[in-house]
Every structure is written in C-alpha cells, then in structure tokens.
Amino acid sequence: MAGNGRETPGLKVEIAETEGVRTQVRVGEVVFGAEALAVIAGPCAMESEEQYLEAAVAVAQAGGRCLRAAAFKPRTSPYSFQGLEREGLRLARMARQVTGLPVVTEVLDTRLVEEVAEAVDCLQIGARNMQNYELLKEVALSGRPVLLKRGLSATIEEWLLAAEYLFAGGNDQVILCERGIRTFETATRNTLDLNAVPVLRERTHLPVIVDPSHGTGRRSLVVPMARAAVAAGADGLIVEVHPDPDRALSDGFQSLSPQGFRDLMQAIEPVARAVGRSL
Amino acid sequence: MAGNGRETPGLKVEIAETEGVRTQVRVGEVVFGAEALAVIAGPCAMESEEQYLEAAVAVAQAGGRCLRAAAFKPRTSPYSFQGLEREGLRLARMARQVTGLPVVTEVLDTRLVEEVAEAVDCLQIGARNMQNYELLKEVALSGRPVLLKRGLSATIEEWLLAAEYLFAGGNDQVILCERGIRTFETATRNTLDLNAVPVLRERTHLPVIVDPSHGTGRRSLVVPMARAAVAAGADGLIVEVHPDPDRALSDGFQSLSPQGFRDLMQAIEPVARAVGRSL
Amino acid sequence: MAGNGRETPGLKVEIAETEGVRTQVRVGEVVFGAEALAVIAGPCAMESEEQYLEAAVAVAQAGGRCLRAAAFKPRTSPYSFQGLEREGLRLARMARQVTGLPVVTEVLDTRLVEEVAEAVDCLQIGARNMQNYELLKEVALSGRPVLLKRGLSATIEEWLLAAEYLFAGGNDQVILCERGIRTFETATRNTLDLNAVPVLRERTHLPVIVDPSHGTGRRSLVVPMARAAVAAGADGLIVEVHPDPDRALSDGFQSLSPQGFRDLMQAIEPVARAVGRSL
Amino acid sequence: MAGNGRETPGLKVEIAETEGVRTQVRVGEVVFGAEALAVIAGPCAMESEEQYLEAAVAVAQAGGRCLRAAAFKPRTSPYSFQGLEREGLRLARMARQVTGLPVVTEVLDTRLVEEVAEAVDCLQIGARNMQNYELLKEVALSGRPVLLKRGLSATIEEWLLAAEYLFAGGNDQVILCERGIRTFETATRNTLDLNAVPVLRERTHLPVIVDPSHGTGRRSLVVPMARAAVAAGADGLIVEVHPDPDRALSDGFQSLSPQGFRDLMQAIEPVARAVGRSL
C-alpha cells in the first residue's frame, strides 16, 4: 500500500461531497466563506500586554475582523523568544473584550488543546504542524473552528488529507490558509502559491484564506500580494501587524505598521468589489 | 570568483540606474509599461493557415493587443510536432496584415535571429533559453524589442542578469515575463510566482507581464490567475488561445477558446481599474 | 529578529564545541559513530505478531544491529492503517527478547513519550515531526537516545537547530538521519541528499545515518544508494525489511525481503572496508 | 497533446531497445561504460596557456584519462570572464599533444559546432543548454561523442528526451552527466542527485558519469561525493582541477589542487574495486 496517500477517492473535504455547496465557517461573529472577505490581523508574536493591546485596537479600528493572538511560538532555534505562552491566553481574552473581535491562536501541543480551545475562538494549526496528526486528532475533538495552514512543502493533496483528519475526527469547521511554499527562490522568504486558491475552489468546499506576510517575507510586498490573493478568489487574509515593526521580537521585517494595515484595507477594497466581493 | 553571479552591483536593468523612471517598450503600436495593460494572445503553436488566422482574428476581436505567433517550438521530445518553422513566419506576416496587430515570435537559434527579426515585431526568448547566452547576444543585436521569459528554475537575480546580457549588447527594449517556476507541487503544471511581480517592480525599470497559461497549465485556472497577476501589478499578460482547444497539437488543456478569451478580457477589466490601470 | 534561525553562532551540536571530538551514541550494545557501521532494519509498519517477529529474526540473522519497531504510524490519509499502537510496544519488547537486538520506535505524541521511552531503547522523531518542538522538548527529557530524521524540506541548518532543541533540553544522545528531501524530481519518491553526509561531518560531532528506503522509494535502488551512503561517510543505515514485501500494509514497494537484506549487508561490506570502516 | 513529453514509449536511449546491452562510448582511447572508470579533469575555465598546460599535465600525471578544456564559458553575468574562446581551442590541441589525453569542450552556439568538433574529441552540452534543442540537433550531426549534462531542474525523463534528440539526429555516442539539481538547500551549491545513477542504469543503456565539483560547490566535499558516486555505480567522474584554486577566475572554491586531485584518485580506487570496477 502506498505511503503517499494519493488517489484517495471520496474525501469529505471535496466539493463533490457537498454537491457544490460551499462551507461557511463561523469564528465568533465573523463568517469565512461568505461574500464578505474576512481579515485576520495581529502581531507575529505577543510580546507584552501593552504591545498586544495596542496592536489589537489598531487592527479593530482599521477594519480587521479577527485577531491573531500568537501566544505559543514554534521557533526554529531553541534560543529564540518562545512566546508568552499561558500569559498570552489571558491577553487574548483581554483583547477580545476590549475590541469585540474574535481571536485565533496557534496550538502546538496535544496536552494544551483543551486549555487553548477554552480561551479562544479558533485554533490555528501552523505550517510546521500540518502533518502532526496527533495534534490534528486532538484539535478535531475541541469543538472549535480550525485555521489549517499549508505545510512548507505540502502538496495540495497532502493539505486536503490533513483537513480530512479534522473531518474524520468530527470537526467540519475548517479554514485553509495558503502561506507560501519552499522553493529555490531566495528573493522572497517563501513563494506564495496563489495557484492553490483557484485549485482549492474547484476541489474543496472549504473557505481559503491567504497569508501574504509569510508568503513574501517583506513588508513592501504585502499589499500587492494581498490584492492578488483577493483577485484570485481568496475568502480572506491573515496579516502581521505590529505597533512598532522595527522593534518586533519576531518577523518585524514582514509586519505592517497600524498605518500600513489601514492602507492595506483600503487597497484591497476596490479589488474585492472588482471580483464581486466586499470587505 | 563566484560562478553564480550574485551580488553584482550597478546593473543597467536596475531602477536605481534610471532614478525611478520606468521603461516603456513599444511593440508596433502597443506600449508595454504604460497605464494601459498589454495583452498578447494566440495559439501555443501555429498549426495551419486556417487555424492561425482564425485564432488571430478572434484575438483581435476580443481586444487582444498583440499576437503570439509560435512558428518554432522547443519540444521536450524530438518526436513531438516541432512547429511550422519558416512557413510560420509567412503566416505571422499575413495575420499582422489581416488584424493590424503586432506579432511576437520565439526564436531558438542564433542563425535565424536576423530572419525572424525581419518578419516580426518582437522576439521572444523562451524559458528553456533564458540562459542561452549566445542567443541573448545575437538577439541584443537584432534591434527588435525582446520578450524575455523566466527560466523554469531561474532565480529573479539570474533572470535580471539574463536581461542584462541584452542591455550589455545594446538593446534596452526588454519585457520580462513570469511564466511559472518548477516546484514540488504537481497539482499545477508550474507554480506561478506572482511574488516576482512586485519584487521586480521594486528592483527594475522594465515592464513585467505574466503568462497564466503556462503558469497554471489548466484552462479553468487562467482567468483567476490573470486577475491575480493584474492585481499584483503586472503590466500585461500573454495567454494561449486556440480556435478549438481540444484539437490543439500542443497545450490544448491550458488554451482558452475564443469565447474563453473574451470572458478573460471582461474579467480582468474591473480588476485593472481597481488598481489604477486600464485595458 | 529573524524568524529563520540563520546565523546562530555557538550551537552545542557543532563540532567546534567539542574541539573536533565526535560523539558516539549507544543504543543498547550498539554504538553509532564508531568505526563499525550500525544498521537498523525492520518493516515499515508492525502488522501482526507473526509478521513482526519473522522480520525481526530475519534482520538479526542477516547481521542487522538494531530493530526498527514502527508501532505508531503518521499516515498522510486518516483512512490508511495507523499502526498497532500500544500493542506494538509489547511486540517490540518481545522482538528484543527473541533477537537480543535493541529497538528504535517513532514517537508521535508528547503524551506518550514516557510510555514509549520505557518500552524501547531509542526514540525516533520522524521527518514530519522534525519541527514539532513540543515533542522535541519532551523527548529531550526522556533520557533515551534519539534518532532525528531530517524534515522533508528542512535545510541542514534547520535540522541542526532541531537537534539543538534536544541538547538545550539536556539530551546529547542524538543520531541524525538523512532520508531524502522533496524536490521537483518524480522518478524517485524523494531525492536522497548524500551531500548532507560530508556537510554534517564537517559541521557537527553527531553520528549521521542514511535511510535509502525512503530516500529512493524503490526496492531496486536501495542497495546502490546504501553503498553510496557508506562511501560518503555515513555511520550507518536504516532500511525497511519485510517478510513478504508485496503484501506489506505500507511501503512494500521500497521494502527489501529478508534475502534482499542479506544481499545488502554483503554488498556494503567491501565498500565499508574501502573507506576504512567495518560492519 | 501534452507539452511535457511524458509517457513517450520506445525511446532509442532505453535499455529495452538494446535488450540489456550497455553502450560504450569511446573518446580518443578512453572508453566510457567499460569496467574501468573514466575520469575527466581540468580547470573550470581556461585562463592562459601557462595555467592550462600546468593543469593538463597535473591531470595526466595523477591518472586523469580525459581533459576538460573549457574554452567557452556560459556565465550568469555578462560582466564575468567569458572564456578564452577560439584561443582556447588552440590550447586544447596543444594540451592534447603534450599529455596524449583526449579533450572535452563545451559548445554553446550552433554556428561554432563544426569548428569546435574539429578541434576536440568530445563535445559537451552544459546544464543550461540541455534543452537548447537547436544546439542538440547540430551537435548530433557533428560526428563527435557528446557529454550531455543534466539541466539544473531537469527531470530524468526530460534528460533522456534531450539525449533522444541526439539519437534522433543520428548520434548514439552519448555520455550522461549528473551534476546536481537545484533545490531549496543552500548549504551546498546544488544537490547532487545520486539516485539518478541507479535509476539511469535501470532505464538507459548509456554510460553515466558524475560531477562532484558542481554537484557540491565545495572543495572539501568533492572526495566523499566522488566516492559515493562510484559506489552508486557511476561509470566515471568529471572534476575541476586548477593549479592554484585560490586564484582561479571562476569556481576556485570548488576546484581541487593538483595534489587534491591525486588524493581523489587514490581515494576512489578502493571504492571502485569494492563495487567491481577499476581505475
């Protein structure tokens, strides 16, 4: 039997299964997969109460619909800042209360799924954990909607099979997120694979959003690629916003300032309309 | 001395060199790099007089600005159809006369550069020949504008250095064309690297167009990715159009029908306006 | 602060740290990083008591030094066979008793690390979990030696930083395993990156082994690539062996039969001697 | 009709075509594909009469069987040293007379094929020109044996189809050369794909050699990867040797000194014997 899982007919995530009906996923009051685009924003990492609340308020004021609350950080080096962890969950709750926006948080460890699920509105599976099947199984049981990022070198087939783990575990509230793949090109941090957006719209009934921050790795590329994502048919975006990007503890070079985020929201609005969507 | 050509300061293709002024390249009456987008279209290969003229007229009627006239075909297998070759040049002239549109033709051989340059308005360097430096040197001397496609696995740095060969040879009429890169993903023929569009707009003064036909390899993906390309800031498109895609001698699966091409032109128009461009 | 972890000076896994002294890792009686090569073998997945013990005995008789005991299987599809799980740990103990060989088992879940560590001699971190940092932290605390496979698209830098998580957690008994990377080439399942072997020997003091089964994905390529790995300087191999490859529940196409494994051991012996090693 | 040339049955380069008989290619007195390995060596670029003759003599004295005579250099930047060009052909003849070794020279331009073919014993098609089909057609007519390097991102399928262009043009004297492919890994210049060696031995009757200099890009990796190539079943090697690598005009960082080349020849000899070959 092949180990690569290809040629698996009849997946629950496939649009054939729903006879063409698209799934809408509700995170708090926000609907992913509706006519209106859903934009998630927030800093790459929570760093302090002050930093996080400032970012959260800026996101809310500029029209962001959902907060990114990165309490736990999977860092390539053990010596890099690892996040505020549980303290971050407290800040996530506080930010939700202050802004009224729902909160998305990445979860890294099967043992913490329940605790994180209680604190936030949506669980994120990061790129590095897309094939961490034990985590997928546990998150499936959490009852929370899930934002499933594409793995760094995952094929679309493998990505859909990771989503299928959530469905197989009884959770059909799944949002897919294209965040760039690893290629030979070094001019950008990753290669944003926007082809994936229409490919997924043909094959799956799940909403698809795009992360132009990780997908490019450079602040100046975020607006044009956010526009491109919307034009390609994405149902929303996830963007890194930091009150003071140049002092960010991680990924500052790809984070927008609050003003930059306001500019982005203005820049995508006419493109959304041009393709029959709204903000 | 490094063989990879990195860190080459002071290239003529860089925007620093023109103090921010963008180059406009004129092909016949059509200007690449202006406010109006330039769309090149035509069949993957010329197959017969009838097929080619039918395609050319359809392109002209739907608002295409430039004809793709593929007389010489670089085919992976020696046993595949190799193009009409010289007979194709005659058809290219005829199609130009009938439609009034300028013609772009790929050239494969240093010995034919002069002959092809006399017959057509713009010379194309295909992806497989991006680092065929002898061909670049000869094409530089032709006096014709050049459409330089990105190599299948060329970095943006290497691509700009290929363009620099044309400048070094005295030809500054160069249009860059992103056409998808080779990655691990097999759901699409290539991975269209739209990140390249804003990266190039920051770094070079040359116009940049996008080929969503080769960049996706599937007809149904061409319209959404054409829209995405325009939203990302492309100065134009090159698209495969065939009177009868299902009977095409090459690349039928990614070619639009004449009606499909009209739909594409309508689909990109509002996106162009949304980003401050026109058709 | 950069998110990619580059330019991290002074890692504990670097050979500069040990002034050129190489680490030897002991798994049961077997030493990885000594003059004698260490060969781990066993089926891709444990399927039944009968299948596993037959494979284990065949491995022992042919000169294998360590048993691969795959009780938990990370499968791309949720509908593929997921392994014998806890029952597999019982079989692992039984096989160790019957053959006298130490046992290596992959662990997938932080919650099971302690239980698996009690049952077996060495914990494996699979390719998909190389950047599952919570799992690395937990495995670091287990007191067991660790076989750390390279991620499908992990750079050597990222792989060493994953090993550094184990060191940072107090565990310096780490064996690195090259198992092929993901590239554009589809003629083989993965591209076995043997360059990594001498690169790692220059940079780290840790033992390095190679997995020619996953690295090629085809039975007929296992022997030549095992020889190549030894010639490149690998400290050992991990190979898939199944009593009846054509009926294997997973990866049968890349598994050796018991006779095939005996042939492999004979085939690598003269190459080992040619590069100053023994079996 | 598909543009990618897959599924082309019945190629002349396939071993099925020769009923298992392997082709031997003769370059001067040297036979590629025989029991004895064939080693080609010489500087990355010819720089001067003195430099080249010194290198040639060193290669001959250390047991090299064939000279690399790089008169024409395809350089990524137009401002890099472009080779001695025709003057290099004179030096190639001189070196052949002095050493008695046959000479291999890369050819870049259809217009020069005849002239280069008269001057040297074997024509090389470089990686960048593997899909320069006009060049392949012209080289096919030259009557000279051809060393066909794999393209930077060419699949094995595409590589064999490039070789088929030579066969289709009447030239069956073809040597394949694996020289590393482009992947995400940046620790080495390319990823040497040694899997290709046994894959090709199964599929084609043509001799296969390996270039560990370009395949690694680092001098210290050349010997271990040369050994690995021989162990994997390669019929020979091509290696960069320079009298004074630190002053080389190109690729010095991956070139061996004359002493380094002597060490390489000694290092591969026992590995060759271990796999039933000789030097």
Q: What is the CA B91 to chain-centroid distance, rounded?
A: 19
D183 interaction partners in chain A (CB closer than 8 Å): 184
Test A183 with D184 for CB contact under 8 angstroms.
yes
A230 φ/ψ sector (left φ>0, alpha ψ -120 to 50, else beta)? alpha
Distance, CA of C189 to CA of A30 (rounded, Å) = 42
CA distances (Å), origin C74, targets A108, A132, C53, C245: 17, 8, 22, 20
Q: Is residue D14 part of a domain?
A: no
Test D153 with B158 for CB contact under 8 angstroms.
no
Q: Which two tokens stand for residue B81?
A: 């159809």
Q: Which two tokens stand for residue D177?
A: 């050369």
Looking at the predicted structure, is the pLDDT value of residue B4 above 70? Answer: no
For residues D248 and B1, is the Cβ–Cβ distance under 8 A?
yes
CATH of the domain at B73: 3.20.20.70
Looking at the predicted structure, is the pLDDT value of residue B220 above 90? Answer: yes
- Residue D251's pLDDT is what? 86
- Residue A3's pLDDT is what? 38
Closest of D144, D147, D60, D43 to residue D99, by C-alpha: D60
Distance, CA of D163 to CA of D181 (rounded, Å) = 18
For chain A, the residues whose C-beta falls within 8 A of a C-beta of chain B are 153, 155-157, 181, 183-188, 191-199, 201-202, 215-216, 220-221, 224-225, 227-233, 270-271, 273-275
Distance from the C5 Cα atom to the nearest Cα atom in chain A, whole angstroms = 5
- Residue D6's pLDDT is what? 41
pLDDT tens for B126-141 read 999 999 999 999 999 9
Q: Are strands A38-42 and B25-27 parallel, antiparallel or unpaired?
A: unpaired
For chain C, the residues whose C-beta falls within 8 A of a C-beta of chain B are 153, 182-184, 186
Give percent of chain B above pLDDT 90.
Answer: 95
- Residue C9's pLDDT is what? 62
Distance, CA of D124 to CA of A55 (rounded, Å) = 59
- Residue C5's pLDDT is what? 40
Test C182 with B182 for CB contact under 8 angstroms.
no
Measure CB to CB from residue A187 to each of B192, B199, B270 and give the nearest one: B199
Q: Is residue A13 part of a domain?
A: no
- Residue D8's pLDDT is what? 53
A187 interaction partners in chain B (CB closer than 8 Å): 155-157, 195-196, 199
Closest of B14, B10, B36 to residue B234, by C-alpha: B36
C188 interaction partners in chain D (CB closer than 8 Å): 195, 199
Secondary structure (H, E, C), chain C: CCCCCCCCCCCCCEHHHHCCCCCCEEECCEEECCCECEEEEECCCCCCHHHHHHHHHHHHHCCCCEEECCCCCCCCCCCCCCCCCHHHHHHHHHHHHHHCCCEEEECCCHHHHHHHHHHCCEEEECHHHCCCHHHHHHHHCCCCCEEEECCCCCCHHHHHHHHHHHHHCCCCCEEEEECCECCCCCCCCCECCCCHHHHHHHHECCCEEECHHHHHCCHHHHHHHHHHHHHHCCCEEEEEECCCHHHCCCCHHHCECHHHHHHHHHHHHHHHHHCCCEC
pLDDT tens for C199-237 read 999 999 999 999 999 999 999 999 999 999 999 999 999
Residue C8: which pLDDT band, with cuts at 50, 70 and 90? low
The total domain count for chain A is 1
Test B191 with A193 for CB contact under 8 angstroms.
yes
Buried/exposed D209-237: b ≥16 CB within 10 Å, e otherwise: bbbbbbbbbbbebbbbbbbbbbbbbbbbb
Q: Is residue D35 part of a domain?
A: yes
C151 interaction partners in chain B (CB closer than 8 Å): none
For A186, nearest residue in chain B (alpha carbons): B155
| Chains near C (3 or more Cβ pairs under 8 Å) | A, B, D
pLDDT tens for C30-64 read 999 999 999 999 999 999 999 999 999 999 999 99
For C190, nearest residue in chain B (alpha carbons): B184
* Structural domain harbouring A85: 32-272
> For residue A206, which amino acid is it?
L
> Can you tell me which residue has the tokens 């089909």?
D133
For C276, nearest residue in chain D (alpha carbons): D270
Inter-chain CB pairs, A–D, below 8 Å: 8
> Can you tell me which residue has the tokens 């006419």?
A270
D234 interaction partners in chain C (CB closer than 8 Å): none
What is the value of pTM for the model shown?
0.96
pLDDT tens for D111-129 read 999 999 999 999 999 999 9
Top residue of A153, A182, A183, A184 to mutate, by most chain D CBs within 10 Å, is A184
Q: Is residue B47 part of a domain?
A: yes
Measure CB to CB from residue C182 to each of B153, B182, B184 and give the nearest one: B184
Measure CB to CB from residue B4 to each of D76, D78, D164 and give the nearest one: D76
Top residue of C11, C133, C159, C161 to mutate, by most chain A CBs within 10 Å, is C133
End-to-end CA distance of chain A: 46
In the predicted model, residues of chain D with pLDDT beneath 50 are 1-7
Top residue of C157, C184, C185, C264 to mutate, by most chain D CBs within 10 Å, is C185
- Residue C10's pLDDT is what? 86
Distance from the B205 Cα atom to the nearest Cα atom in chain D, whole angstroms = 18
DSSP helix/strand/coil, A58: helix
Distance, CA of C193 to CA of D215 (rounded, Å) = 11
Distance, CA of A234 to CA of A272 (rounded, Å) = 10
The residues, ordered by sequence, that sit 6+ positions from A19 with a Cβ below 8 Å of its Cβ are none
Distance, CA of C1 to CA of B277 (rounded, Å) = 37
C215 interaction partners in chain D (CB closer than 8 Å): 195
The 10 Å Cβ neighbour count of residue C238 is 27
CA angle at C72 for the pair C66 and C78, rounded to the nearest 5° = 145
Measure CB to CB from residue C132 to each of A132, A152, A164 and give the nearest one: A132
Test D275 with C197 for CB contact under 8 angstroms.
no
Distance from the A53 Cα atom to the nearest Cα atom in chain C, whole angstroms = 21
For residues C172 and C12, is the Cβ–Cβ distance under 8 A?
yes
C115 phi and psi, to 5 degrees? Answer: -65, -45
Distance, CA of D237 to CA of D59 (rounded, Å) = 13
Mean pLDDT of B74-102: 95
> Can you tell me which residue has the tokens 């929201």?
A265
Q: Is residue A110 part of a domain?
A: yes
- Residue A8's pLDDT is what? 53
Measure CB to CB from residue A182 to each of D153, D182, D184 and give the nearest one: D184
| Chains near B (3 or more Cβ pairs under 8 Å) | A, C, D
Q: Is residue B9 part of a domain?
A: no
Q: What letter does residue D183 receive in the DSSP assignment?
A: -
For B189, nearest residue in chain C (alpha carbons): C184
Q: Are strands A174-178 and A146-149 parallel, antiparallel or unpaired?
A: parallel
The 10 Å Cβ neighbour count of residue A19 is 7
Test A78 with C189 for CB contact under 8 angstroms.
no
Looking at the predicted structure, is the pLDDT value of residue C3 above 90? Answer: no
D182 interaction partners in chain A (CB closer than 8 Å): 184
Test D195 with C186 for CB contact under 8 angstroms.
no
pLDDT tens for D198-226 read 999 999 999 999 999 999 999 999 999 99
Q: Which two tokens stand for residue A251?
A: 């990924």
In the predicted model, residues of chain A with pLDDT beneath 50 are 1-7
Closest of D213, D215, D171 to residue D196, by C-alpha: D215
ipTM reported for the complex, 2 dp: 0.95
Q: What is the CA B178 to chain-centroid distance, rounded?
A: 8
Q: What letter does residue B44 receive in the DSSP assignment?
A: S
Q: Is residue A188 part of a domain?
A: yes
**Whole-number CA gyration radius for chain C:** 17
Top residue of C153, C184, C191 to mutate, by most chain B CBs within 10 Å, is C184
Measure CB to CB from residue B187 to each of A155, A192, A194 and give the nearest one: A155
- Residue C250's pLDDT is what? 86
In this structure, the dihedral spanned by the alpha carbons of residues C17, C22, C26 and C29, taken in order and rounded to 10 degrees, is -160
Distance from the D232 Cα atom to the nearest Cα atom in chain C, whole angstroms = 5
For D189, nearest residue in chain B (alpha carbons): B4
A190 interaction partners in chain C (CB closer than 8 Å): none
D181 interaction partners in chain C (CB closer than 8 Å): 183-185, 191
For A190, nearest residue in chain D (alpha carbons): D184
Distance, CA of B38 to CA of B66 (rounded, Å) = 8
- Residue A5's pLDDT is what? 40
Test A78 with C165 for CB contact under 8 angstroms.
yes
Q: Residue C14, exposed/middle/buried by CB under 10 A (0-12, 13-18, 19+)? A: middle
Q: Is residue C107 part of a domain?
A: yes
The 10 Å Cβ neighbour count of residue A50 is 10
For chain B, the residues whose C-beta falls within 8 A of a C-beta of chain A are 153, 155-157, 181, 183-188, 191-199, 201-202, 215-216, 220-221, 224-225, 227-233, 270-271, 273-275
Closest of C11, C4, C32 to residue C165, by C-alpha: C11
